[in-house]
Every structure is written in structure tokens, then in C-alpha cells.
Amino acid sequence: MLEMNGVDYAYPGGIPALSAVDMAIKPGEKVAIVGANGAGKTTLLSILNGTIRPDHGAVRLDGAAIRYDRAGLRGLRQAVGLVLQDPDDQLFAASVFEDVSFGPVNLGLAQPEIRARVEASLLAMGIGDLGDRPTHMLSFGQKKRVAIAGIIAMRPRYLLLDEPSAGLDPMGVSQLMASLQRISADGTAIVLATHDMYTAYAWADRILIFGDGRIACAGDPELVFSDRALLARLQLEPPLIWEAARALRQAGLVNGALKMPRDREGLLAEIKLAADMAAALAG
């Protein structure tokens, strides 16, 4: 398990960023951390990855507090990979293959294993044909996929992503989330920080609502958006799919015991069900 226990952190100048944060990520779990821009989500991920050291409290991996010496951070980053919001901050090699192979090379792996990991990572991200492509000739969405491939080639148990859908068109978001779903199915825990409420709701097993430097609310995606006063205070709105499904239930047009739809197709199916019911009653 990857945990934060009582973590405080302040930016230079004493500006508070995190305050007494407690959280835990289970192996294989899909977690979305949602919050307004500037809420501190990036700082939270950077502390989990060891890039930033907290002022107080501890980050623990499998029960042991992480060490901030060279060996400790090396071990942590093999287990906990971080993908930044801007892929240009991570890509530096001339070709896609070289870039994705950087981590495995630094692990001291044999060439056959390096090649196998790179090819598997590219395939997992749906870019198996881009290995020889110069990195400067990639689209923004391709760069994001390559940046993620470079991290998963290290075979982390926990994959942290900062605003992965930012800058992508709807098709790009859909393709990226499908790739992350495949990675998750292989047992990797994935944590994404985002202000994209729709993506968080459609994808996550658990949602943490972050604001004022704290985890303000956490739980099942179907329930976590119920506190409208909290969302308003944190300058957030629930996803439209959730609001529409909730309205159908409150109007008695859909059985309240049914699971809430998590995507567009599920909502459209519920609307059709409600329309059919209304037509039957009218007839």
C-alpha cells in the first residue's frame, strides 16, 4: 500500500499547500483526485513520488517510511512512477524508443529485456508503430502516451498522472483512458489528479475531493458528489451525467435502486428507459 500519514507541506514563503493529509492507495486501485486548478494536486503527487519532501508527516510504501537518500528514492521511483502534465518536461531523447528505454537502461537490464519492456509499453499505450519516430515530430497526444510508456517500462506498481486529459481532444481522452484501463487490468494501481470531473467519474473506483490542502471528501463515485455545499465551496461541479441520472431518480422516472450510469451510453439508456415508462403510463 502507498500511504500518506499526517503530511504537511508549505511552498517557499510559508504558503500552505497540504495540511495533515492522510490517504492510502491500495494495489491495483484506480483513484481520481479531483480539485480546482491550484488546489495542490500536483504537489500531492510529487510528495507521493518523493520528488518533494514533506515538512511534517510521512509517506509509506508497504508500511515502511520512504528514505530520501539516493538508494531510497531510486527504489521508491521504481515502485511509484509519476507522469507530469506537460510531456515536454519528460521527453528528451531523439527517438521514441530511446526515450522509453531510458528507465530500463538505468535499471541495468539486459538488452533483450529492455527491448521487450519498451515494445510492451508502447503496445500498452497504443503506439506500437511509433518506436522509430523522432520525439519532436509527435503530436501532443502522442507525446503524452510516450511519456506514460516511459514510466510503465519501469514496471511501477503505482502510476501517478497529473492532469492526463489536459490538452487532449475528446477522442484523445477516450483513447488515453482506454490505454490506462488496460494497464490497470494488469494490476498496476493508477492515481490521476484532474479537474475533469467527467473523466474522474467515468473511470475511477474511488474519488478523493481535494481542496484547502486537505482531502475534503472521499468515496464511491456514485456517492461522493452528493454534498453540493462542499462542491460549491471548493469551486467544483458534479459531472453532468451524475446530475442527470440523479434527477431521473428524484423524479421517479428511474428505479433508485439501479446503479448510477458512469458514461454517456449508460445515461442515454436510462433516458430511453424513462421515456418508455412515461409512454407506457400515458398509453
Looking at residue 114, its pLDDT comes to 93
- As a whole number of angstroms, the distance between CA 101 and CA 120 comes to 11
Q: Please give the mean pLDDT across all residues of the chain.
A: 90
Mean pLDDT throughout 241-248?
92
Q: Which amino acid is at 235?
A: Q
Looking at residue 157, its pLDDT comes to 94
Q: Which of 157-161, 195-199, 202-206 has the lowest mean pLDDT?
A: 195-199
Indicate the pTM of the whole model.
0.89
* Residue 242 predicted with pLDDT over 70: yes
CA 125 → CA 122, 151, 167, distances in Å?
Answer: 5, 11, 17
Looking at residue 172, its pLDDT comes to 84
211 and 237 Cβ atoms separated by less than 8 Å: no
Looking at residue 283, its pLDDT comes to 65
Compute how many other C-beta atoms are within 10 angstroms of the C-beta atom of residue 146: 27
Looking at residue 186, its pLDDT comes to 86
Q: What are phi and psi of 210, to 5 degrees?
A: -110, 135
* Residue 23 predicted with pLDDT over 80: yes
- As a whole number of angstroms, the distance between CA 56 and CA 246 comes to 41
* Residue 260 predicted with pLDDT over 70: yes
Residues 2-30: b if buried by 16+ CB within 10 A, e if exposed: bbbeebebeeeeeeebbbebebebeeebb
Q: What residues does 159 pair with on adjacent strands?
A: 81, 190
State how beta strands 56-61 and 2-11 pair.
Answer: antiparallel
Looking at residue 175, its pLDDT comes to 85
Looking at residue 50, its pLDDT comes to 93
CA 225 → CA 206, 238, 256, 274, distances in Å?
Answer: 12, 6, 16, 23
